[in-house]
Amino acid sequence: KSDAWQLLLSKQKPLPLSRFASADYGAAAAPGSATDEEKLAKLATAEHQLREHGLLQDYLTSTSAALLGTQAAIMTVIQVTPDNSRRASIVAAAAAAGSEGSKGNQQGLSIDAAASAATAAESGRGLAAAAAAAAAGGSGGREFKRMESKRLMVRSISKRMKKEVWLPAAGHDPLPVIWSSLGIITCIAYLAAAVYYFYIRIAYSMDMGRTAWYGAVVFACEVIGFTSVVPYGLMLLRRCKYVGEGLPVDDGKWKLPKPKRFIVRVLIPCYKEDLDTIKETVQGALTADLPPSCSRVVYLCDDGKSKEKAEYIAGLGDAAVYVSGRVRKPGEINGKSANLNNCLNNVIYADYIHDTDPGSSSISEKEHASNHGEIKTESDDVIPPQEVVVIFDADMVAKQDFFCKVLEIMWDDTVGLCLTPQSFSNIHQACDVWNHINVQFWEYILPGCDTLGYVGCTGT
């Protein structure tokens, strides 16, 4: 953190005064020199470091008084000086405001210093004399240069901080349906071979005398095998393919429209997993990139009631919540789903109205409120569409771009469930003899099912 502050507040040679005043008054700006480019590079680096450590907002707040003082000085000079000397007066008054700000004055600039600078400019002595008069009213020429350099950097930061609303390109579909020419050829070849094979079997091999029953049983098994292969072949004809790039990372340049400012709830159910495994999963969920204007909270749903896990989550502050102490109903099947539903119903969305299970004889909370004269609106029943629930197993570590890519899919209001592929960090795909990675399921079956409007849920 100290390196970031030192880099941004380091003393640098000021930019030419003409560059400071030309933005609003039409003066020709001097072409950028190598020194200017170096300053901009340092500025970008410092901004990144300050943002990474959460210090950028504090820095901008601490310099707001100086910026407001500069603005007040300019407005004062505009009102009291003629047009022909206004440019020089403005530069001088801004310098005076910066000098006074360097003394810790939070109330604005010294009117005496600004007046002295404006008088020098009006007398025709030019920019140099005006700047010198301003510096004399402050802390001297050296302090004037330092504050001018700082002021220019703050101004550059302010321009960069203006966020624009990010929207995907018109007609952009991150999961288009594509046809596979190889799949089509393979499927046609298989169907042709199957038809010819069944013709031969029926015409020439069914008359087996006393063992005809055995031939019929084998033929039935072959038909069953055929009916299981054909649907798989049809799913290979077309599939959804991810071609998106994900939502932009929150780098301070963009903001999402209000209906798309997602609130991500990451649920991690656990029982007796070791703390190191939990830490890796939680840290992966907290450090993965998040799109701008979005927020996330991690919920560790612990059915094991571990004290050390509770202490670890407590040390993460508001970024994570420890959920435990679930009360199990008589006859309730204990396991992952009950653990997750406890967090959803009793912690995250406890304030929303819940109807009872279908077939239950008790009335819903909404009907109970209506019978007792309480006013309940339709919005009370609906969880905001910006809410997104993500479920990780206790040993699942999110990739850096996980949220940006998943939320790009969830951008479509018609999408309610997104199942992401998963793999194992300790198994190489080329050595996966026992098919632990299950490539055909993640890469072929599910994308093919997606084109038919079906998505499976494996619980994560």
| DSSP state, residue 220 | H
Lowest mean pLDDT among 241-245, 306-310, 437-441: 437-441
Contact status, residue 30 vs residue 16, Cβ threshold 8 Å: yes
Contact status, residue 235 vs residue 445, Cβ threshold 8 Å: yes
| Angle, in degrees to the nearest 10, between helices 34-52 and 141-160 | 60
Model pLDDT, residue 8: 43
Of the pLDDT bands very low, low, confident and very high (cuts 50, 70, 90), residue 39 is: confident
Amino acid at 62: S
Rounded CA separation 53/238 (Å)? 46
Contact status, residue 106 vs residue 147, Cβ threshold 8 Å: no
Contact status, residue 386 vs residue 260, Cβ threshold 8 Å: yes
Model pLDDT, residue 145: 61
pLDDT higher than 80, residue 292? yes
Rounded CA separation 174/262 (Å)? 18
| DSSP state, residue 379 | G
The phi and psi torsions of 254 (rounded to 5 degrees) equal -125, 165
Contact status, residue 280 vs residue 311, Cβ threshold 8 Å: no
CA distances from 112 to 77, 136, 151, 210, 448 (A): 12, 11, 21, 120, 76
Model pLDDT, residue 251: 85
Rounded CA separation 203/209 (Å)? 14
Residue percentage of the chain with pLDDT more than 90 = 37
On average, the pLDDT of the chain sits at 75
83 CB-contact burial (10 Å; exposed 0-12 / middle 13-18 / buried 19+): exposed
Model confidence pLDDT, tens digit, residues 326-354: 888 887 777 899 999 999 999 999 988 65
Of 21 and 113, more confident: 113
DSSP state letters, 49-95: HHHHTT-HHHHHHHHHHHHHHHHHHHHHHHHHS-GGGHHHHHHHHHH
Owner of token pair 């407590």 = 314
Radius of gyration of the chain (CA): 34
Q: Token pair of 169, please? A: 């390109």
Rounded CA separation 247/411 (Å)? 9
Model pLDDT, residue 153: 66
Model confidence pLDDT, tens digit, residues 135-164: 455 444 565 566 666 666 666 665 556 788
Contact status, residue 269 vs residue 336, Cβ threshold 8 Å: yes
The phi and psi torsions of 149 (rounded to 5 degrees) equal -65, -45
Determine the number of helices (DSSP H) and then strands (DSSP E) in the chain: 17, 8
Strands of the 295-302 sheet, one edge to the other? 320-323, 295-302, 263-270, 387-391
SS3 423: coil
Model pLDDT, residue 50: 75
Rounded CA separation 368/380 (Å)? 14
Model confidence pLDDT, tens digit, residues 72-107: 555 554 555 555 454 555 555 555 555 444 444 444
| DSSP state, residue 351 | T
Q: Token pair of 413, please? A: 């209001």
